[in-house]
């Protein structure tokens, strides 16, 4: 069965996660082989996922760990937690 681009777009996420049924996967695969537009959409989506998963996207603010562990230490020792040391 031949499927259209629009139909393929609905399966991009499932295709990337490998959760499509074998039949659908094969239809998508066949389509991708000859459709440059959908292949580019798939590649760019995959690449965006690689970029957004990178640790550097959400970096901890300077001193985050120190402030966190100081507050935890106070809690652990049974002292009332101090207000966060920031701003």
Partner 1 sequence: MTGISDTTDEAQIIASILAGNTHLFHDLIRPHERSVYAMALSLLHNEADAEDVAQEAFLKAFRNLRNFRGESKFSTWLISITLNEARGRLRSKKNIKLESLDEPREGVGTVTPALLRDWREIPSEALERKEIRQMLQQAITDLPLIYREVFLLRDVEDLSVNQSAEALGISVASVKVRLHRARMMLQKKLVPQLKKANPKRRWFSWS
Each residue 43-82 as x (binds partner 1 by CB under 8 A) or -, in order, gives xxx-xxxxxxxxxxxxxxx--xx-xxx-xxx-xx----x-
For partner 1, the binding residues in 5-44 under the rule CB under 8 A are 6, 9-10, 12-14, 16-17, 19, 36-37, 40-41, 43-44
3-state secondary structure the chain: CCCCHHHHHCCHHHHHHCCCCHHHHHHHHHHHHHCHHHHHHHHHHHHHHHHHCCCCCCCCCCCHHHHHHHHHHHHHCCCCCCCCCCC
| 7's tokens | 């139909």
Shortest Å distance, C-beta 11 to partner 1: 9
Residue numbers at the binding site for partner 1 (CB under 8 A): 6, 9-10, 12-14, 16-17, 19, 36-37, 40-41, 43-45, 47-61, 64-65, 67-69, 71-73, 75-76, 81, 84, 86-87
């Amino acid at each position: 069965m031949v499927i259209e681009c629009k139909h393929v777009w609905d399966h991009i996420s499932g295709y990337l996660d490998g959760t499509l049924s074998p039949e659908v996967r094969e239809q998508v695969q066949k389509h991708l082989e000859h459709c440059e537009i959908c292949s580019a959409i798939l590649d760019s989506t995959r690449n965006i996922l690689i970029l957004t998963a990178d640790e550097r996207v959400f970096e901890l603010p300077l001193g985050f760990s120190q402030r966190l562990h100081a507050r935890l230490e106070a809690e652990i020792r049974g002292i009332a937690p101090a207000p966060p040391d920031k701003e």
